[in-house]
Structure 1
């Protein structure tokens, strides 16, 4: 089995163990998806490690959907892990940060929700996690604040600030570590601001987080 990696700003490769994602971590996005951020504790889902798409490569439009949607997110890469990590020590486990896209087959997700079924095929399909360069934590002045935006075809689709996250990076790491033992190589997608929407083949997606970096991919026809 090949090792899945993400390139870093140091010119090295960061091996990925798995991808963990927190849902509805911005209040306005929770509301646009029909949730109540005042009542919901954090919840999580996952993507396979080989869902990553790097280097600005094109993303093939996936099969079995007519509602592929974008979600721009801050990604946290862990250098170490453990269980029951205290919030005060959580950031000590972080290797670095990147900008990522949690691409979603929204129609499959909606169907799964209605039937009370898992979201795996809505979230964890091939190439569903485009990601930019990983930047070492020491080079990111404040990972808990900064403008986050996504443009599609040059038009602004999503915008917000990392400070709007319901659960901070440290709180997210702590909550996850109470459910599973985290480890080196885990990536955590930390949720998306409001404004998610559909993309079509030919669309160019360009995301940016202030002080962290960028992510870029074009939606291609799945030939």
Structure 2
């Protein structure tokens, strides 16, 4: 997920930046409405007319800010990604400050990942796992999730009580396993995985990561 590319959305024409406070607020309402609709229906079903109706403005008002539906989707994606990464980094910083014990430290980081996927499952499914749009090469937004993942691994590797055998390869694999399971969860209907609800994953995934990182491999 973290380094997935989004395909199909042309980001060559960024939204025209609002110049006044009232105008900025109006633009945020447009983005809020579009984000809600994407979460509810998916990107494929999003229309400018629906965004205008939910925002309470004319269709032309939306087009005065965004040249196309693709440009609107790209703006929603970039804003959402900034918000999610900022929130997760805040939670991880709190975990680092509160968890002196290595196992608690790992559990807190995994819990933050679970919370992110649970709270943003619909948008993660649309924007990342299904790779429905494509960033231009070198776009900074494309690297934010990868940077967040790298931050997790570096924090775990730097913990003073980390077991020696929990090297970079094992730490990376442990958190990739958590990540992949969460990606699977947000793309799988509940009826196909009735035993893997969020509460169950919240119990099992921290244990999985902790056990893998703390138990030495038998040879």
Give the TM-score band, short-chain normalised. Answer: under 0.3
Provide the TM-score with structure 2 as the length reference.
0.22
TM-score, scaled to structure 1? 0.21
Question: Radius of gyration: which is bigger?
Answer: 2
